[in-house]
Structure formats: structure tokens, C-alpha cells
């Protein structure tokens, strides 16, 4: 099995990195928040730091922005060292913090106007990448009257506003409604198609699956896996559960599912939940059930808790 260190070194030879993190460490006294993390991110990629709260994601991002000083290690972004040239490097970056705070007495329109002047851009740039349609009635109101989701939407619009080469976002879809999440994902892919690089931190496996090209999985300050999202789906998600809901349940449907590869069968009403030894067994089961007269209303993977994904990865590393 290729080590994480060897994998990062190989990747650094294969492409010119927009972001290059080497042996990054952050300690607070005896506590190590980030422990020798290394990764590279090329132009045009969406790279996700995935893990629960407290795993080191936000600390890494804050060091990338120059808001925290690393205990050791290096951070190169767009060819510049953030520690030596923070102003020059930040000009190439747009940043969405985990919790954005705005003056509550200012309107959304005033805040957007301020950031347009600060980043030397026009507000109509947003029209092509992120719609403000759902905010039109709120832009003239003080931000103090906004809901948490509306404030997050405003913060996201500000992040997407400048023509930045690197976008760094910490939990970007927190509190967003489904429409805004869809717009965000579409905007990110559009920006990457234009050659922008996106780095985001999230605790949602579904968010990484929907948007990320590669994922660094964090656990207790360490990077325990660095994989393309496709590989995670192939190697990890197929080992977890699958559900099928039928219009009317019959005992023979459960037996048919077992005969065609269903393992660890759970049954509740019209729903069957099971795992399979191979991903292709799922289609075999669906076809067998339909041939037996089952009216299948819906089916899909039951996303495992992130902790189970960690346990799977940790077990693979031990083996």
C-alpha cells in the first residue's frame, strides 16, 4: 500500500500545485491540533478537507490564510509563501470563514457595495455564477434582521464575488437552503472550469461526494487518507448499506433479495435495507425483484455515519 507521504510526493511531481502544504504542524502547548499534514492542490480542482468538528480542518484553513502561525511546516499558495508574502498571496485568494460576522446595522446592499470596492469588482459579476434572486427583498434591510441561512448566503456571495484564483471555504453550505446549496455547487464547478482552485472544509460526506474531486480525510489532527472522491465511493461506500422500498411487501421478496446477494437484511414495513459483497449485486437484486412482480418505488445507498467511514479506513490501514 502506498504511503500518504509517497502519494503526496508523487503528485507534486505530476502537476504544478496552486497550493502546496508540506509537513504542517500546529501545537497549543502539549496539544497537537494539526500533525504533519501534507497535500498539493492543482489548478481547477475542488479539494475537500473532510472530518468532524475538532479534527483540525479549520486550523489548517486559518494557517493557509495567515491568521494562525504554524508551529512548523510550509504553506505555498500561487507560488508564494503565505508566511513571507501574506499581502501578495491574499490578493489571489477569496475566503469564507466558518462563521461570518457583519455589522448588524448595515444593509446587505451596503455590505456588498463595500466588498465590491474592496475587491475592485462589480456586483453584476454575481449574476452569472450565483443568483441573488432569493435575497432581493432582504438586501435593503439591516443584516441584524437576517436569518442564519440568509447571512450565510450573503457571505457566500461575497466570497464568490472577486476574480480570485484560489477560493478557500470553511463549511460553506452550513445553514443554506436546498436551492442555495444547488447554486453553490453549480457556481463552484463553473469557477473550476475557468481554472480556479477551490479548497473547502466540511463534515458532510454527501457534500464531498457532490462537489469534490479529491478528499483529505482528517482524524484527530492527522490526515488519515487522501483519495479521489471516486475511489472513496468505490472502496468505502459499496461496503455499506443499500435500501429498496416496494409498493407492497411480500415475504418472497426478502428471500429473492438474499438469493441474489443481499447480506445483513433488515426489514421495516415496505423497506428492505441490506449490504452487498459487490456493488453490481445491487442492480441484480433490483432486476430480480422487478421480475418477481415487485413495484419498486425508490432505492439508494444509505450513507454511513462519518465515524463508520473512519473505522473502515483505519481498519484498512492496519491490514
From 235, 266, 283, give the residue that closes a domain: 235
Number of domain units in the chain: 2
- The verdict on residue 310 lying in a domain is no
Query: Is residue 152 located within the same domain as residue 213?
Result: yes
Q: Which of 23-32, 102-111, 229-238 has the lowest mean pLDDT?
A: 229-238
List the one residue out of 243, 236, 238 whose CA is nearest residue 309.
236
What's the rounded mean pLDDT across residues 163-187?
A: 89
- The verdict on residue 80 lying in a domain is yes
Predicted structure pTM score: 0.75
pLDDT of residue 106: 95
Query: Is residue 142 located within the same domain as residue 231?
Result: yes
- The verdict on residue 96 lying in a domain is yes
Q: Look at residue 229 and tell me whether its pLDDT is greater than 50.
A: yes
Query: Is residue 30 located within the same domain as residue 170?
Result: yes
Query: Is residue 28 located within the same domain as residue 125?
Result: yes
pLDDT of residue 13: 44
From 200, 235, 270, give the residue that closes a domain: 235
3-state secondary structure of 211: helix
pLDDT of residue 257: 94
Query: Is residue 167 located within the same domain as residue 273?
Result: no
Query: Is residue 82 located within the same domain as residue 121?
Result: yes
Q: Look at residue 179 and tell me whether its pLDDT is greater than 50.
A: yes
What pairs with residue 262 in β-bridges? 276
Q: Look at residue 314 and tell me whether its pLDDT is greater than 80.
A: no
Q: How many CB atoms lie within 10 A of CB 257?
A: 26
Dihedral sign from CA coordinates of 133, 137, 138, 141: positive
From 204, 235, 266, give the residue that closes a domain: 235
Confidence bin at 14 (pLDDT 50/70/90): very low
Query: Is residue 114 located within the same domain as residue 130?
Result: yes
What's the rounded mean pLDDT across residues 219-246?
A: 83
- The verdict on residue 252 lying in a domain is yes
Query: Is residue 54 located within the same domain as residue 172?
Result: yes
Query: Is residue 225 located within the same domain as residue 258?
Result: no
The CATH number for 288's domain is: 3.30.70.980
Per-residue pLDDT of 96-152, as tens digits, reads 998 888 999 999 999 999 999 988 888 887 777 777 766 777 888 999 999 888 898
Sequence-distant (≥ 6) Cβ neighbours of residue 245 within 8 angstroms: 270, 271, 272, 296, 297, 298, 299
Query: Is residue 296 located within the same domain as residue 179?
Result: no
Q: Note down the domain range covering 250.
A: 241-302
Q: Look at residue 9 and tell me whether its pLDDT is greater than 60.
A: no
- The verdict on residue 200 lying in a domain is yes
Maximum CA pair distance of the chain?
A: 69
3-state secondary structure of 101: coil
Query: Is residue 231 located within the same domain as residue 256?
Result: no
The CATH number for 182's domain is: 3.40.50.300
Q: Look at residue 298 and tell me whether its pLDDT is greater than 70.
A: yes
State what percent of residues in the chain have pLDDT above 70: 90
- The verdict on residue 309 lying in a domain is no
What's the rounded mean pLDDT across residues 245-253?
A: 93
Q: Look at residue 6 and tell me whether its pLDDT is greater than 80.
A: no
List the one residue out of 171, 148, 160, 164 whose CA is nearest residue 61.
171
Report how far residue 272's alpha carbon sits from residue 99's, in angstroms, rounded to the nearest whole number: 40
Q: Look at residue 250 and tell me whether its pLDDT is greater than 50.
A: yes
- The verdict on residue 313 lying in a domain is no
Q: Look at residue 160 and tell me whether its pLDDT is greater than 70.
A: yes
Q: How many CB atoms lie within 10 A of CB 224?
A: 17
- The verdict on residue 317 lying in a domain is no
Query: Is residue 284 located within the same domain as residue 190?
Result: no
Report how far residue 260's alpha carbon sits from residue 239's, in angstroms, rounded to the nearest whole number: 16
C-alpha cell at 315: 481498519
Amino acid at each position: 500500500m502506498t504511503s500518504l507521504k509517497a502519494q503526496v510526493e508523487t503528485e507534486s511531481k505530476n502537476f504544478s500545485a496552486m497550493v502546496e502544504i508540506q509537513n504542517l504542524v500546529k501545537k497549543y502547548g502539549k496539544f497537537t491540533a494539526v500533525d504533519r499534514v501534507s497535500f498539493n492542490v492543482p489548478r481547477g480542482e475542488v479539494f475537500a478537507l473532510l472530518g468532524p468538528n475538532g479534527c483540525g480542518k479549520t486550523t489548517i484553513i486559518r494557517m493557509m490564510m495567515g491568521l494562525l502561525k504554524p508551529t512548523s511546516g510550509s504553506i505555498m499558495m500561487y507560488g508564494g509563501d503565505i508566511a513571507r508574502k501574506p499581502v501578495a498571496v491574499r490578493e489571489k485568494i477569496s475566503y469564507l470563514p466558518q462563521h461570518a460576522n457583519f455589522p448588524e446595522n448595515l444593509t446587505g446592499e451596503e455590505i456588498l457595495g463595500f466588498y465590491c470596492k474592496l475587491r475592485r469588482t462589480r456586483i453584476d459579476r454575481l449574476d452569472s455564477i450565483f443568483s441573488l434572486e432569493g435575497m432581493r427583498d432582504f438586501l435593503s434591510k439591516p443584516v441584524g434582521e437576517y436569518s442564519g441561512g440568509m447571512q450565510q448566503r450573503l457571505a457566500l456571495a461575497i466570497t464568490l464575488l472577486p476574480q480570485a484564483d484560489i477560493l478557500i471555504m470553511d463549511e460553506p453550505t452550513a445553514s443554506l437552503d436546498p436551492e442555495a446549496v444547488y447554486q453553490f455547487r453549480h457556481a463552484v464547478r463553473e469557477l473550476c472550469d475557468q481554472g480556479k482552485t477551490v479548497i473547502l472544509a466540511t463534515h458532510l460526506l454527501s457534500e464531498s461526494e457532490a462537489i469534490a474531486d479529491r478528499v483529505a480525510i482528517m482524524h484527530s489532527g492527522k490526515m488519515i487518507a487522501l483519495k479521489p472522491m471516486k475511489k472513496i465511493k468505490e472502496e468505502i461506500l459499496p461496503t455499506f448499506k443499500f435500501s429498496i422500498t416496494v409498493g407492497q411487501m411480500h415475504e418472497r421478496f426478502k428471500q429473492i433479495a438474499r438469493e441474489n446477494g443481499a447480506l445483513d437484511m433488515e426489514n421495516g414495513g415496505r423497506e428492505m435495507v441490506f449490504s452487498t459483497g459487490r456493488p453490481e449485486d445491487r442492480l441484480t437484486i433490483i432486476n430480480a425483484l422487478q421480475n418477481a412482480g415487485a413495484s419498486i418505488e425508490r432505492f439508494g445507498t444509505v450513507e454511513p455515519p462519518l465515524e463508520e467511514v473512519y473505522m473502515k479506513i483505519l481498519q484498512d490501514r492496519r491490514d
